Structure 1
């Protein structure tokens, strides 16, 4: 790099550092205060759900009990997920002094084959509807976590969620307005419209913000789980056996039968055998080290390892000297993320199905150094491809020919936006005509809006910790509005099937098969320092999740921000990777920046080939806990991006 260019980088970094974010930001006013706690902390996507978590601590429960109560509450509140969705978690077990992973992602049902969808002229499974559903994972994940690591009964943990479903709760504007926005889709499914549209036929058919929203069918289902547990306890079963009885009732009993009946009534594929065969995996997470900090993620059935890969690449650079959010720093982040995400798009998939993912090579420090050498420091590279990690684990790559042709050309005649394969139920109102001025289907504006909606497809996140040493980081999702509700269970089904591919040329590891898990975006995080919990952090937002979490981590470790400052700090988002939803599109060179990024940084990025967009909040709704071992306290952070909220004591 010539001297003039080096000076420009340095000046940009210095000016941005002075103008927006000095190396240490403790004097900066945050929109929310740090949550200081000595005994416990509970954070999640909705204030009422955080209260449910706090209630478990008041009952004497631990962080796992609290996390399970928050999971139940957020699922009941449709916090961009429902009870038929999927759950994944990292838990620090202070007894064993280790991090364990919870894999409660559903699987493709019987009949969900590549041939099935190709006959419907689909390049990918649909985004919505009964054929988008994998088997429910959240109920099983919650009950296994509670059984193995919690202390309270299922009755106690589900208590707040049952009360909210049965007696109702004042629904918040975010969810109520999402229901109204998606009402035309919801009308296509009998039980969804009955639950979600209490004012059918009126101008506004969804609940009004603040209206008491009741879900009697869901309340009955949750009560059945408690009933199964209590009967087992009365029969002399121990706590774990009693929770297992509730698990069996959901996946093998009357709840399962009604769920399957309801799914199949709408044209879905889930069978009783699918539910009975599915199980939760307690597994070993993957990890890397960054400047002495151990960072843990779930393995390749989610996108979590991309954060570890990006950290390995960025560890080869002097990030602090670049200046926080200077043009050079933004470029470094963008390129490192693109290198890691290109590997995700090709190599990640369900580790319980062949072929085996090359995880050891992907997480090799030497592989990261080789990938870092590919960074062009003068401009963005829109053609970054997956690497070859096999050589870094002493093996030959069996997919060299696919790599040479990646990314594959669109299939001739395939229509990724084909209509979903279900028919309008008799008597259901027809979709409304878009209002005047709304983006019309097929327009460039509508296409971009659809892309961004899919890219940031939301969920929630849960963080909990207690003075006994338990730490829980969860990113549950699936069954977001608009979801198909399965019969009289009140359970909204997942839409995760769309994350599969149907052509091995895209990813030989993530091709749709019955019984297989799609590679999901969901990605909780835990970090240890000196063998003790250091950071627990997670965020919602589809393919943006590990991008925001990477920057959060660097904000704390490299730039000395507090956990709240790091949660609110301005992040960037790359759109160069293939989205995990919809038509799996990519927008190379496109970057989302904070609106306060100064003109000289914008000018430099434009010169480097970036297409920029700007927003007032770019942190993503990050929730996090920092462990202050010197003082024996917790620092909780919850960004001001959404409705996320925390309580500590």
Structure 2
């Protein structure tokens, strides 16, 4: 399977990987994709082709993104679906401006912190009805379409509906993660009936295997209702009533009123300059500004001279990540509940002055074991899909969508063909914390799209899915492109770093006291590993927590350049 193939490929020493290219750069498993008119990069080849078809038929990049995202909810339910949330950044060539949309849902209004305490819970469970929040993806589709769509939304949803009825063969990595989810989620009502198949007379239900045809007529019906009845068909119609009855019958709290009152919001992206490139993220309740904080902390260092894979490169990255994630655990939350200071707090966190102040805590010789977040005084003033699309008019979409952990909560209302997200697991069951559970509140979010402009013009639309790996992945891609001179595909295929063990903004928000763990994808030299250990890092090998990358870059010679994650099933393609 692809996961194991990639592990074998990346087990080559970096020197051996370099030898395979005339350039001497880290080996890219495939070439960049060049296209003169339009391009799409998604985590599934069929979704990529759907996006291209939509644009060939006159749809905008937003139409194509909606169509591909709807298809991914069918084809890659391990990472997405209409039961989850969505964030997007859109470059509009007409206004020459970036637009951000926060399509995250809120907690049920009838569920309280006292209820969790009454049950004796110190963490919100990862599955079942309690972590379920309102799904924001469908609302986000219609908001994006209303501003930037050109084709009827029924046309955008038609390919997913057709594949849901007629079937499609399941890809390798998706089949692997689907199979892993079945034993855990089969206990929840509606999952087994709608997301498993008969195990060939064994009496056991299982997920589809690689190459096996999968159909989801229930999802086709749901998407048809949305296509005909619009946004309200999902949030205020029969679908919402089915959801209400399902949760009432199964110990849940999500209600018709929660669905009917949902509304996402347009937000202003925020940025920092990194060596002349303006890197854009969305503000909290997501974690995007962590990438900006890390870049600010690294900018004073001559990363290019250190070189990719050097002890200095890895050490400085890990130490900057620790500092940013300490603030992430303390300050990132729903701004509607944090108060009027939320905007000024973000502005301070991503400022160069603040980075210079915090950067003094980094030692070149020693790994930090404990890191404290900024004080109020200093601030005065796991699964997902990522995809990106660009059209012939210059519109570019950076979109990320998720059910959160695995295939979500396991809660699958009868006849609807989708699973609800378990994003509410990210709340803290502790009074006074910015991310403490409250009714009608948006949880801390890990999913973050990214965009880069240069000189006020679009340069790069990209993302890296994968929980806490996401801001770490954003930074590594940019280091690889800007500091280490890799091309767009090489930047994604180069061995990755993940630091784990920082203080988290979820659960009990345990504090890092041992420096955490440094995961290195195979390809870093033994000399680098030994040097890191001498600095006090706990280095370990891990096979899979390195995220999934897609990217589109503007080609200075005209058209676009695309790249897709070699560790997943995806494809970048254009015309």
- State the TM-score, normalizing by the size of structure 2: 0.91
Partners of 2:140 and 2:509 lie apart in 1 by: 28
Aligned position for 1:10: none
Q: Which runs of structure 2 are paired with 1:118-267 in the superposition (5 Å)?
A: 118-199=117-198, 202-203=203-204, 205-228=206-229, 246-267=230-251
Q: Secondary structure at the match of 1:487?
A: coil
CA distance in 2, matches of 1:367, 1:226: 47
Q: How do 1:361-400 residues align onto structure 2 when only pairs under 5 Å count? A: 361-388=348-375, 390-391=377-378, 393-394=380-381
The CA distance in 1 between the partners of 2:547 and 2:185, in whole Å, is: 27
Q: 1:511–1:43: structure 2 CA closer, same or farther, 3 Å change rule? A: same
Give the Å deviation of 1:354: 2.9
1:377-433: CA deviation from partner (whole Å, max 9, x where unpaired): 211111011023654543xxxxxxxxxxxxxxxxxxxxxxxxxxxxxxxxxxxxxxx
* TM-score, length-scaled by structure 1: 0.81
CA drift of 1:615 comes to 4.7
Taking structure 1 as reference, are residues 369 and 567 closer, same or farther at Cα in structure 2, changes over 3 Å only? same
Structure 1 residues without counterparts, runs of 5 or longer: 1-15, 229-245, 395-456
Task: Check if 1:527 corresponds to 2:514.
Answer: no
**Residue number among 300, 312, 334 corresponding to 2:296 in the alignment:** 312
> Structure 2: how far apart are the matches of 1:204 and 1:494?
22
Are positions 1:336 and 2:320 aligned together?
yes
Cα-to-partner distance string for 1:424-447 (whole Å, 9 max, x where unaligned): xxxxxxxxxxxxxxxxxxxxxxxx
| Residue of structure 2 in register with 1:600 after alignment | 527
Gaps of 5+ in 2: 1-12
Query: What do you get for the CA RMSD once the two structures are aligned?
Result: 2.2
Question: What does residue 497 of structure 1 align with?
Answer: 424
What's 1:30 paired with? 28
2:553–2:561 contact (8 Å) kept in structure 1? yes
Count, aligned residues: 551
Q: Which of the pair has more CA radius of gyration? A: 1
Matched, 1:509 2:493: no
1:266-293 alpha-carbon deviations (Å, 9 max, x no partner)? 2211111111111010111111111221
The offset of 1:184, in angstroms, is 3.1
Deviations 1:153-198 (A, max 9, x none): 1111001110121222222243334333333333322311111122
Match of 1:625, SS state, is strand
**Equivalent position of 1:434 in the other structure:** none
Q: Distance in 1 between matches of 2:519 and 2:487?
A: 24
Alpha-carbon distance, 1:594 to partner = 2.5
Cα drift, residue 20 of structure 1: 6.8
User: Which residue of structure 1 aligns with residue 549 of structure 2?
Assistant: 622
1:57 counterpart SS class: helix
Given that 1:133 and 1:494 are in contact with CA atoms closer than 8 Å, whether structure 2 keeps it comes out as yes
Does 2:568 correspond to 1:633? no
Structure 2 partner of 1:43: 41
Q: Distance in 1 between matches of 2:545 and 2:256?
A: 43
Match of 1:234 in 2: none
Within 1, Cα distance between the matches of 2:475 and 2:135?
A: 29
For residues 353 and 581 of structure 1, what CA distance do their matches in structure 2 show? 16
Q: Is the 8 A contact 1:624 1:638 kept in 2?
A: yes
Q: Does residue 469 of structure 1 match 2:401?
A: no
8 Å CA contact 1:127–1:582 kept in 2: the answer is: no
Task: Write the deviation string for residues 435-487 of structure 1: whole angstroms up to 9, x where unpaired.
Answer: xxxxxxxxxxxxxxxxxxxxxx1211011112311111111101642521123
Partner of 1:397: none
**Alpha carbons 1:81, 1:459 under 8 Å: kept:** yes
Give the 3-state SS of the residue equivalent to 1:76 in structure 2: helix
- Secondary structure at the counterpart of residue 335 of structure 2: coil
Deviations 1:122-147 (A, max 9, x none): 11211111111100111111121112
1:324 lines up with 2:322 in the alignment: no
Q: For the residues of structure 2 that align with 1:184 and 1:17, how far apart are their CA atoms?
A: 38
| Change in 2 beyond 3 A, CA 1:25/1:17 | farther
